[in-house]
Chain A
Amino acid sequence: MTFPSTPPAGGVLAPWTFPETVQVQVPGGPLVVAVRMGVLPIVQLRWCYRGGTYGIAPGLEGLAGIWNSTARHGTRKYESAELAQVLDHRGIRLRFSTGLESTTVAISTLSQHFDWAVDLLDEVAFGPTFPEHHVARERAKALEVLHHQLSVPGYLAGLWLNHAVYGGHPYGRRSSTLEGLKAVTRQDVQGFHERIMAPGSSRGMLLVVGDVDPHAVAHRLARRWENGDLDGAATTDAEQVASKPLEGLGFPVPEPQIIAVDRPESEQVTFGIGHQTIPRAHPDYYALRVANQVFGGGASSRLFMTLREQRSLTYGVYSRLSAGTRGGELSAEMATALDKAEEAAEALMNEFRGICASPISAEELTMAKQYLVGAFPRRASGVGGVASLVMMARNHGFGLEQWAEHQARIAAVDLDEVHAVTQRWIRPEALSVVAVGPGELCARALAPLGRVEVKGVGAVPPCSV
């Protein structure tokens, strides 16, 4: 049998549909959402709240992280060790997380423990007691971890780039600082918890994804709250802050910065480069997403093919379109050998210039769209992935029907559109660039891009808001 020189033609792509979902809005209370994913006997339950690090007072950077790690160490019903034992005995995973604009408490469990897990989720979400000694230990641990992170070049590059891109805006705020961590008290942690995790609040969403009957579960869980102590449509401080117009976001952007961070012991130079761009709800979002895929979205992108496969400058380089509710950012990162730093800086900048100067071709457009359309079902193939999609829809204020249309919206992007958004939203002249490595070498590599500011060993960006 002769081996064919081309792959077999693919059959018809099976359509993807969003899993069966039932939503019940408790009047004046939380939204309950249940999604059926019955492949495995597992369920993920999440309390998702609007409000996150965005509303934390200046000087307390790190407060959310301490809340995340301390909330499991004691509730009204369980001591820290007791809670750990009951969780581990059932193989249950518990996770607290806080983003800029949302906060989550999530439990993943085998479906046989579902009923028990529902009660436990409420206990850990609404009943933490934050014993003083646990707060003190987690604060000390967070300080040590931050010391460690400040030795990681990628972390340093991200820190400075974020500051350069967003200026003093809360989007550019550091999630934790040594000073902020030291200042956080037990009362701050308790206060943060009470502001965000209000039981019965209409800011909350109880989400269940997995091996459940969504009709039965959504209605049953909603009934638990119907006669409860509901808070109507109250807003939090965090929401009030988040709803203010964000000065400085969107073009015109803050003055681009070129920063060399001196890390004398480095074996590589790590670059971060980026600028602000549009929020998730912007009409240009889908076209810009396609443009980013062509530019640096994977191992077939322009960045990867040129900088790694043709020029051997790096192990990996990708670009990222990060679109929040108020604004977003287009950025890229790469690390290169010390003796290639100058070449790499120039090459990276040239790729940004190139995506504007050399228009995306019809073939590139087709490839990028096919990738994004075909990849979407993978994103929604696990309980965690589906839960994240539901959360994202709520945080960005669109309905789940938008996910059903997601592939069609990507497929509808045409060449004119993608060219227009590339010109509109990718601006080489607005790029801030950070290089972490031996200071003098970094400064030399960045010099052709503009006036270089050299930051000393141990320097970190200021935390103004």
Chain B
Amino acid sequence: MVLQPDSAVPIVGLALYYGIGSRNEERGRSGFAHLFEHMMFQGSANVGKAEHFRHISAWGGQANGTTSRERTNYFEALPSNQLGLGLWLEADRMRSLAVTPENFENQRQTVMEERRQRIDDSPYGEAMVRLGEISYRNWAYGHPVIGSWEDLKNAQFDEVVDFHQTWYRPDNAVLAIAGDVDVEQAMAWINEFYGDIPAGPPRAAPNLTQELRTAAVHEQVADPIAQLPAVFINHQAPPFNHENFPVYEVIEAILFRGQSSRVFRRLVLEEATAVQISGGYEAHNGPSLFGMFGVAGAGAHDDLGKIVAGYKEELDRMANALVSKRELETAIHQIQANWVFRQEGVLNRALALGSAELFHADPLWDKKLLDRVALVTAEDVQKVVQTAFPQHGEVILEVHPR
């Protein structure tokens, strides 16, 4: 449990993280963690189907849940006099689920619509699924969080109870509260609502291993929906508990953050080979990536190699020469300022605290990272780029409008 009182506004943010994500799924069961997240809104012992939202809405609150590769979270922002309601609602569905095969079928259909909307009917959607498959050399991380069509169709209602009893236990959860909270009252509720929930059974650890890629991968896919060609480039990267984590953060800022960043400036503003560039460090506590995504401008419609070459030349430039003192300072200042901006809103803070505690056993990990980032040197940047971005390990996926 993490509590961060701040009475500036009479609002409280509550985030409950569970250590269950798509990486914990077995083959043939892809998408189940996310489908289960939907089931958590379908009823528990004292809360009927869809009543969770009604309880929260009745007080002007906001609630939702999300699933990623490594965790599932549920969160609420409420007027501070309703913190007890939020804690009670989350406890009720941690203690028990009261769902039916009909509800399960309803949510399976809902998730299928979500998949159509986000992936099948969205430009570059299918390409991103393929990108995950070829970028990670580990099925647990490489399959899509939302699951394959076949696995969604085959998902079984009778697995719901077991899944809940295995993963949705207090010893696999972090509860974070930020905002206008009376700590003594909050602790009393937490003890009352959660204190007697038993721990779960031993849980299978996810596969965190990943073989080093020794041969480059270069694929092309046709996209029937996209209008503009685009390209993804990925390199394997270390997990976020690695000592070089802050160096990667700085590299990301130098290459991609702001209009002065190297890749943006070159590809979008100077060469105009791209109309949109994004990229950076996709860090997990297992297999991780560093990559970029570029949507081609008119100058690269027929030759996505121009975008690839521009990016790789910028990596080479960082490998061959030290970044300037001012450029390094700029990256560090950007990371520091962005951290401050991200503190706006008590729900954002609760989410950040919960995530940091779940993954690092330290709710202030993000803040402490700023101190580590401030110590990164130009030599650190050069060394990491020289050693960690080998050409033989790159994955390139070109997307061409069909």
Contact = CB atoms under 8 A, between A and B. Distances in A.
B298 A91 contact: no
Given A42-B340, A137-B269, A312-B109, A14 B79 contact: yes
B91 interface: yes
Contact of B123 (A5, A13, A90, A148): A148
A377 interface: yes
Interface in A1-42: 1, 3-16, 38-42
Given A10-B85, A151-B123, A371-B60, A88 B6 contact: no
Contacts of A251: none
Interface in A262-289: 265-268, 270
A65 interface: no
Nearest to B253: A88
Contacts of B275: 141, 144-145, 148
B110 A308 contact: yes
B92 A335 contact: no
B344 interface: yes
B88 A90 contact: no
Contact of A42 (B95, B121, B344): B344
B117 interface: yes
Contacts of A40: 340, 343-344
Contacts of A6: 46
Nearest to B228: A148
B113 A336 contact: yes
Contacts of A84: 258-260, 265
Max chain B C-beta neighbours (<10 A), residue from A87, A140, A265, A374: A374
A335 B226 CA distance: 18
Contact of B227 (A80, A88, A151, A376): A151
B300 to A, nearest CB: 10
A314 B109 CA distance: 8
Interface string B103-116: 00110011111101
A91 B338 CA distance: 7
Contacts of A300: 50, 53-54, 57
A85 B260 contact: yes
A1 B196 contact: yes
A370 B58 contact: yes
B8 interface: yes
Interface in A378-397: 378, 381-384
A374 B224 CA distance: 45
B259 A298 contact: no
A225 B122 CA distance: 49
A377 B77 CA distance: 11
A7 B88 contact: yes
A88 B276 CA distance: 19
A150 interface: yes
Contact of B60 (A267, A336, A370, A384): A370
Contacts of A224: none
A8 B89 CA distance: 10
Nearest to A335: B117
Interface stretch (B239-247, B315-323, B329-337): B329-337
A14 B116 contact: no
A299 interface: yes
Interface in A135-178: 137, 140-141, 144-145, 147-148, 150-153
A145 to B, nearest CB: 6
B295 A148 contact: yes
A305 interface: yes
A367 interface: yes
Nearest to B195: A1
B113 A375 contact: no
A108 B195 contact: no
B79 A374 contact: yes
B11 interface: yes
A454 interface: no
A33 B106 CA distance: 51
A87 B341 contact: no
B265 A8 contact: no
B91 A371 contact: no
A217 interface: no
Given A91-B338, A367-B57, A377-B10, A268 B259 contact: no
A87 B295 contact: no
Nearest to B344: A382
B180 A14 contact: yes
B263 to A, nearest CB: 13
Contacts of A144: 228, 275, 295, 297-298
Interface string A335-372: 11100000000000000000000000000000100111
A374 B61 contact: yes
A91 B334 contact: yes
Interface in B15-47: 45-46
Given A137-B269, A315-B114, A11 B81 contact: yes
Contact of B189 (A8, A16, A372, A376): A8
Contacts of B61: 374-375
Contact of A14 (B50, B55, B80, B343): B80
A435 to B, nearest CB: 13
B182 to A, nearest CB: 9
B59 interface: yes
A309 B330 contact: no
Contacts of B112: 337
Contacts of A299: 50, 53, 57, 63
A342 to B, nearest CB: 16
Nearest to B402: A265
Contacts of B81: 10-14
Contacts of B91: 3
Interface string A177-211: 00000000000000000000000000000000000
Given A14-B79, A88-B259, A298 B92 contact: no
A310 B105 CA distance: 11
A40 B272 CA distance: 38
Max chain A C-beta neighbours (<10 A), residue from B88, B180, B341, B343: B341
Contact of A88 (B77, B193, B258, B268): B258
B9 A153 contact: no
Given A87-B259, A337-B112, A367-B54, A81 B265 contact: yes
A93 B297 CA distance: 25
B62 A378 contact: yes
Contact of B77 (A72, A87, A153, A378): A378
A42 B341 contact: yes
A267 B191 CA distance: 48
A96 B345 CA distance: 23
Contact of A298 (B57, B89, B95): B57
Contacts of B297: 140-141, 144
A88 B260 contact: yes
Given A110-B337, A300-B53, A315-B110, A10 B82 contact: yes
21 contacts: A6-B46, A7-B55, A10-B82, A10-B85, A14-B80, A14-B180, A15-B10, A39-B8, A87-B258, A88-B258, A109-B337, A110-B337, A137-B272, A140-B297, A145-B275, A298-B53, A300-B50, A367-B54, A371-B57, A371-B59, A376-B60
Q: Which 9 interchain pairs have the tightest Cβ spacing?
A: A374-B60, A91-B337, A14-B10, A312-B109, A8-B84, A375-B60, A88-B258, A84-B260, A84-B259
